[in-house]
């Protein structure tokens, strides 16, 4: 079995606390026509470098029923700035247009097979995976990016077309797994394409 969720697979459920003081399950987003679940964090330069492009994409497609959900699964023991308190602070400073969830146990990251921050998963109305991988081809320096695979996938799907490039490798920092070296990745994790 692949480490990362494969195209056509259903979105794994979750029940996680958010920076807004509430907890959310997958079913809380049932109204979304398309759900974008992405693994992110507070410190990664690839996340920070591309956050404003992610914001622009979320805002561009919001009125078409696309909802974004950010999940931080990084161990705060590896990087203290990835703590829940850090998440709350980051949302207060940036007002991102997504719910920001904390996966302290890392169970959700394992269920989805998150490899890096950021790592995007796009699910259709049936919550089947139609795209996974990166948003930009240069998330660290988004001004130098030449392609936005996430936006292209959403555009294709919402136009009723099959996603032309449904699978890309996420670009970013490794997910920080509890008790592991900061650069550790599971043995069964590999490039997606």
User: What pLDDT was estimated at residue 193?
Assistant: 60
For residue 41, tell me if it sits in a domain: yes
For residue 181, tell me if it sits in a domain: no
CATH of the domain at 112: 3.40.30.10
Please state whether the peptide bond connecting residue 118 to the residue before it is cis, i.e. omega within 30 degrees of 0.
Answer: yes
Domain count, the chain: 1
Nearest to 26 by CA among 131, 93, 79, 103: 103
For residue 121, tell me if it sits in a domain: yes
* Cross-strand partners of 70: 38, 100
Q: Is the predicted pLDDT of residue 160 greater than 80, yes or no?
A: yes
* Cross-strand partners of 69: 37, 99
Measured in whole angstroms, how far is the alpha carbon of residue 49 from the centre of its chain? 15
Query: Residue 84 is part of which domain span?
Result: 9-174
Give this prediction's pTM: 0.96
For residue 182, tell me if it sits in a domain: no
Measured in whole angstroms, how far is the alpha carbon of residue 96 from the centre of its chain? 13
DSSP assignment of 93-137: HH--SSEEEE-TT-HHHHHHT--EESEEEEE-TT-BEEEEE-SBS
Q: Is the predicted pLDDT of residue 89 greater than 70, yes or no?
A: yes
The pLDDT confidence band at residue 189, using thresholds 50, 70 and 90, is confident
For residue 139, tell me if it sits in a domain: yes
**pLDDT tens-place string over residues 10-51:** 999 999 999 999 999 999 999 999 999 999 999 999 999 999
User: What pLDDT was estimated at residue 2?
Assistant: 72
For residue 188, tell me if it sits in a domain: no
For residue 113, tell me if it sits in a domain: yes
Q: Compute the 3-state secondary structure of the chain and give helix, strand, coil in percent, each to the nearest 5.
A: 30, 25, 50
For residue 95, tell me if it sits in a domain: yes
């Amino acid at each position: 079995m692949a480490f990362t969720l494969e195209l056509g697979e259903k979105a794994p459920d979750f029940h996680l606390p958010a920076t807004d003081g509430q907890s959310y399950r997958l079913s809380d987003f049932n109204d979304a026509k398309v759900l974008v679940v992405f693994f992110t964090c507070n410190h990664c330069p690839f996340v920070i470098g591309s956050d404003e492009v992610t914001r622009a994409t979320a805002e561009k497609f919001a009125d078409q029923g696309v909802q974004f959900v950010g999940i931080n699964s990084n161990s705060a023991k590896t990087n203290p700035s990835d703590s829940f308190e850090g998440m709350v602070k980051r949302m207060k400073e940036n007002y991102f247009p997504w719910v920001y969830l904390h996966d302290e146990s890392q169970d959700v990251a394992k269920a989805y097979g998150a490899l890096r921050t950021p790592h995007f998963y796009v699910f259709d109305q049936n919550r089947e995976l139609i795209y996974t991988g990166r948003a930009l081809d240069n998330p660290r320096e988004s001004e130098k990016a030449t392609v936005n695979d996430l936006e292209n996938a959403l555009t294709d799907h919402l136009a009723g077309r099959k996603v032309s490039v449904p699978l890309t490798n996420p670009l970013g920092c490794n997910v920080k797994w509890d008790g592991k070296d900061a650069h550790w990745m599971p043995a069964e994790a590999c490039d997606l394409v």
